[in-house]
Amino acid sequence: MSPENTFHYALSSNNAWAGYKAHQNPHFFPKLAGGQAPEILWIGCSDSRCPETTILGMQPGDVFVHRNIANIVSPTDINTTAVIEYAVAHLKVKHIVLCGHSACGGAAGALSDGRIGGVLDTWLLPLKTVRYNHAEELDAITDEKERVIRIAQLNVEAGIKVLMNNPTIREAIAERGLEVHGVFFDIGCGRIKELGCGTAHKSSSTISGDHVVRGKHGQLVFGQDGEAEIAAAQ
């Protein structure tokens, strides 16, 4: 399919989707147009294989989103900081999810000794720092794919530390119980697992039963073992 045909197919698919959603629920789009009240801020990678709303089994309006190359969270990045400020201080989200993923090109680039070129070399510096801070562990991993997975996980842990020291987030945690989660998406099987960092790490000893994140049309259920399942909203 040519690029032009791909674009026109996307427009046609959108028309069909909009028609189906409106037929299924005539109030769906008018309600969306009336405002948003997402409970989740998702910070993820721009990778086309990691569409947050799709992999969470949720709907438009359920997830506020910020994505960039390799889901890097830098305290000096005003773009990320602005999204956090709006989501936490104004939308009052209940959860912040930082998600890394397998087969991440940015993670692979950070493991390379060569230059990628352009602004990407500058952007990946925090991930390069993660590499050097964990050089012994990473160098001991002989399988290249596993090494990429591990640095991607370490990148999430580093990003969680930045989030947990953000003043807006710290205030929301103390004042209204905002939760921060570090997770990892396995593209090969489509599943997300928690990495045990963030507020969940601090309170894991006191959590009992399943942890539920509800959207408007479904809910994501985290079990004690970190596994998550999609269920219909109650």
Q: Would you please indicate which residues are annotated as catalytic (active-site) residues?
A: 45, 47, 49, 101, 104
Among the listed residues 152, 158, 138, the one whose alpha carbon sits nearest the alpha carbon of residue 100: 152
CA–CA dist 225, 227 (Å, integer): 6
CA dihedral 111, 186, 154, 47 (to 10 degrees): 60
What letter does residue 89 receive in the DSSP assignment?
Answer: I
Contact 219, 234 (CB under 8 A): yes
d(CA 101, CA 168): 26
What residues form DSSP beta bridges with 182? 98
Asked whether residue 47 is marked as a ligand-binding residue, the answer is: yes
104 is in an annotated binding site: yes
Is 99 assigned to a binding site? no
Asked whether the beta carbons of 213 and 181 are under 8 A apart, the reply is: no
What phi, psi does 12 have (nearest 5°)? Answer: -65, -40
Task: List binding-site positions.
Answer: 45, 47, 101, 104
Task: List binding-site positions for Zn(2+).
Answer: 45, 47, 101, 104
